[in-house]
Structure 1
Amino acid sequence: MTQSSHRPRVNSAEPFSPRPIPATAAHRLQSEAEAVEIARQLAAQFLTGAAERDREGYLPVEELDAYSQSGLWGLTVPKEYGGVGASYSTVAWVSSIIAAADSSIAQIAHNHLTLVAHIALDGTEEQKKELFGLVLDGWRFGNAFSELNSKNVAAFETRFVDDGDHVIVQGEKFYTTGALLAHLVPIVAVNDQGQAALVFAQRDAPGLTVTNNWSSFGQRTTASGRVQIEQVRVPKSRVVIIDAFHNHTAAGAISQIIQAAIDAGIARQAIDETIDFVQTKSRPWIDSDKPTAAEDVFTIQAIGDLKIKLHAAEALLERAGDLIDKAVAAPGEASVATATTATAEAKVLTTQIAIEATNRLFELAGTRSTLQQHQLDRYWRNARVHTLHDPVRWKYFHIGNYYLNGVNPPRNAWN
């Protein structure tokens, strides 16, 4: 991927035009194995410029185009609509591979993949045919869910009202990961009856303004800024009523497993960076009486500890993916609660290893690893910010309550 000072930056006041609709259809995946191989190839490309994008704040425009054109954004489209209908363990593995290279790019894709699941759960047959078809052609969905000033993450003040064959949407959103570079922006809005819906607006719709004002110290190039929605007209055919969380579905677990996979990817790459630095750049500590840093017994022990914790987290991710598949195939109170709890367990471990691995990188690699030329701090910054998406302290509670008291975890996008 080319890098230049002319590339658009995050937190910029410069206007940013909507991305063009893909001129050619995206690649059609033939198998899950092919998806994993493509993810590895893309990750190798994305890693090359990741440090520069983070340092300079370059938006991953070309990278995202390559990602969605690869077919991976259609990974979860059901087989009956032309996709491969990948298992969620594969979805998690692919997401973690991309996240290891650039966790911002992986997070931009997260909401799209989650929305594909919502279409499968809540869309009409006509909506599935149209929207899945667009996904397979390479269209990207963004995110206009959360609101900056509402009382909590599930309180929505954005409204939609009927207007003949259309609805009109009014409101404001923040944390809008992916909206800036999307082709369609699904807006979560409620009507006068309190019914929530996903309103799929064209990115270039009149009245829809995406502001590139994300300024976090981590996940810097997700462009997760603000969306202003001023009397935006959207055809009713693109209004998907949200019922998934009122029913026994795995919608929340599907969203969560991808979040957890991103943290696992950050951890994996941070550990690899630690090993490489210790082997090639670190000096042995004077008390070790060893000729190389890699022979320090305490460093050896620490790397072993990190690898064990990473592999445990990855194993729980795979287990959670298998249980989500079962809940999707046979939805019910028990199967959904089991999948949701298993995903929460994975989220706990991926959060722990992401923060620990990115922190211990500097302890084990030594002072010279903090030099700005290496830019290894981006792993810690990304892990610290991304793991804040939903508090792990509540995962412990829901997991314990499930096993101790038989209380199923709540059904929402954060569980």
Structure 2
Amino acid sequence: MNPTEAIITASAVAERLRKDAVERNHANQPPLAEIELLRESGLLAVDPDDHPTTHAVTRLVAAGDASIGHLLGYHYLHLWRASLYDNGELSRSLRHDVVTNRLFVAAVSNPRDTVTATAAGDVLSVSGRGAFATGCAVADRLFISATRADREARLVVVAHRGADGISHPPDWDNLGQRLSASGSIVFQDVRVDPSDVLGTFPVEENESSPRWLRLSLVSLAFQAVLTQILVGIVEGALAEAAQYTRERSRPWPASGLENAADDPYVLAGYGELDATLRATRLLADDATRAFTEADATGLALTSAERGRAALTISAAKVMSSRTATEATSRIFELTGARATTRSSGLDRFWRDARTLTLHDPLVYKVRELGTSRLTGEVPPITAYS
């Protein structure tokens, strides 16, 4: 599927998701049907190395349903990062299987997880628990980040759906992103063949080494994808709120107007949100560009180049988070009191935005931006920047 086809398909999928998003959100069921929709559409097979296209697709789908955009954006991210590790044969095999068998990929990679891989004869035994394992309960392949039992190295291994010893406690009942299957996951003596190890690297690796710098782009990839999802939420919220205003909102008596859509204060409100969205979208696309350029540098990436990309992405993440929480709240001022009914479903945009913006504290990104402005220092490499 070429980029143009991917964008057209993503728009159609988003519209399909939008039609029953309220009902599905209220039902709060595992997104099995939604993953099947992504399979049938062909979107799972979009080239994960084409970041401008995958980020645009993610944003479009997120406008229809932020949870499904989240799942799809992470699917692309995990397939891309597989190529950064040592086992090129496994990475290529995974990509081939995704295209031919329409597989969906998810990962267990929360930095605070306690998952251990122990040698057990000719195989590895993986045990532990992961939190916020987005998409894992409905994934065909799982990337599992684990620490070796001797604490000297970390591993990324691949497991198949339904493997013995994997369970998914039904504990995802959060405010938003309700269909992202982001609950916890438990591993109890899950057997993994050495050929299914994507990569191994020391716990204490030299942060200036070319290999480590390249791997550190993974944390920036998460931030760039989340930024696009947040922009998608705003796009979806404004589109749906505008439709509500046109078709259902009643004019305020003091306005002297017959239609709420003619109220100059309502028009100005939408205008302000539209301008902010346009600016935030440009920042998000700038973040995608910065990430794409850093990725294209390969092992020649320098700490300074990596740092500049991190600052660009952090700026976009800060503004997309603020725009998302503000816009999804302000739409109620423009739609009226009746829009707060549960049946309208407009609240889901705020709930999704509020949940995603708590992924990691913005204040640390703001501090890094301020430090760079005053001292010229680039941000330290962390799991979130």
TM-score (norm 2): 0.91
| Corresponding position of 1:209 | 167
Distance 1:141 1:229, change over 3 A: same
Q: Which whole-Å CA distance do the structure 1 matches of 2:78 and 2:200 have between them?
A: 11
Q: Provide the C-alpha distance between the structure 1 equivalents of 2:39 and 2:213, rounded to a whole number of angstroms.
A: 30
1:172 equivalent in structure 2: 129
Give the match for residue 61 of structure 2. Answer: 98
SS of 1:272's equivalent in the other structure is helix
Give me the identity figure in percent: 29
CA distance in 2, matches of 1:265, 1:224: 19
Are residues 1:224 and 2:224 paired? no
> C-alpha separation between the residues in 2 aligned to 1:39 and 1:71?
10
| 1:180/1:223 contact within 8 Å kept | yes
1:302 matched to 2:269? The reply is yes
Amino acid at match of 2:342: Q
Are residues 1:127 and 2:90 paired?
Answer: yes
Of 18, 39, 61, 2:32 maps to 61
Shift of the alpha carbon at 1:235?
A: 1.0
Equivalent residue, structure 1, for 2:231: 264
Partner of 1:255 in structure 2? 222
Post-superposition shift, 1:69?
4.1
Structure with a larger share of its residues in helix? 2
What is the identity, as a one-letter code, of the residue corresponding to 2:129? Answer: E
Residues 408 and 165 of structure 1: is their aligned pair in 2 closer, same or farther, counting only changes over 3 Å? Answer: farther
Distance across 2 between alignment mates of 1:295 and 1:382: 30
Counterpart of 1:396, as a letter, is V
Measure the CA separation in 2 of the matches of 1:347 and 1:369. Answer: 29
Pairing 1:398–2:373 present? no
Question: 1:64 offset after TM fit, Å?
Answer: 0.8
Q: Which residue of 2 aligns with 1:22?
A: none
- 1:140/1:184 contact within 8 Å kept: yes
- Contact 2:153–2:201 (Cα < 8 Å) also in 1: no
**How far did residue 354 of structure 1 move?**
1.0
Tell me the distance in 2 between the aligned counterparts of 1:67 and 1:412.
32
- The secondary structure found in structure 1 opposite 2:159 is strand
Distance (Å, rounded) in 1 between the aligned partners of 2:383 and 2:40 = 27
The within-5 A match list for 1:253-402 is 253-330=220-297, 331-402=301-372
* Residue 114 of structure 1: aligned partner: 77
Contact 1:100/1:265, CA 8 A, preserved across alignment = yes
Q: What SS is found at the alignment partner of 1:211?
A: coil
Q: Given the superposition, is the C-alpha separation of residues 242 and 401 from structure 1 closer, same or farther in structure 2, using an over 3 Å criterion?
A: farther
Residue 60 of structure 1 and its aligned partner are, at CA, apart by 2.4
SS at match of 1:143: strand
1:163 is displaced (CA, Å) by: 3.0
Quick one: distance in 1 between partners of 2:9 and 2:382?
A: 31
Report the AA paired with residue 357 of structure 1.
Answer: A
* Distance of 2:186 and 2:285 partners within structure 1: 38
Give the 3-state SS of the residue equivalent to 1:131 in structure 2.
helix
Structure 2 partner of 1:35: 6
Query: 3-state SS of the aligned residue for 2:74?
Result: helix
1:139 matched to 2:113? The reply is no
Q: What amino acid does structure 2 have at the position aligned with 1:355?
A: T
Structure 1 residues 110 and 211, CA gap change in structure 2 (3 angstroms): farther
Q: Deviations over 1:107-159 (max 9, x none)?
A: 1223322212221211422122222222223222222223xxxxxxx344211
Query: What letter matches 1:41 in structure 2?
Result: A
CA distance in 2, matches of 1:116, 1:91: 11
**How has the CA–CA distance of structure 1 residues 198 and 324 changed in structure 2, closer, same or farther, with 3 Å as cutoff?**
same
Residues 1:199 and 2:194 are matched in the alignment: no
Q: What is the Cα-based RMSD across aligned positions, in Å?
A: 1.8
User: 351-360 or 195-204, which moves further after superposition?
Assistant: 195-204
C-alpha separation in 1, matches of 2:382 and 2:74: 14
Q: Distance in 1 between matches of 2:53 and 2:373?
A: 27
- The size of the alignment, in residue pairs, is 371
Q: Name the SS of the counterpart of 2:189 in structure 1.
A: strand
Q: Which runs of 5+ in 2 are unaligned?
A: none
Runs in 1 of length 4+ with deviation above 4 angstroms?
242-246
Question: Could you tell me which residue of structure 1 aligns to residue 146 of structure 2?
Answer: 189
Aligned amino acid, residue 91 of structure 1? T
Give TM-score scaled by structure 1 length.
Answer: 0.85
**Is residue 89–residue 319 contact of structure 1 (8 Å, CA) maintained in 2?**
no
Q: Distance in 2 between matches of 1:254 and 1:291?
A: 48
Letter aligned with residue 248 of structure 1: L
Maintained 8 Å contact 1:122/1:243:
no
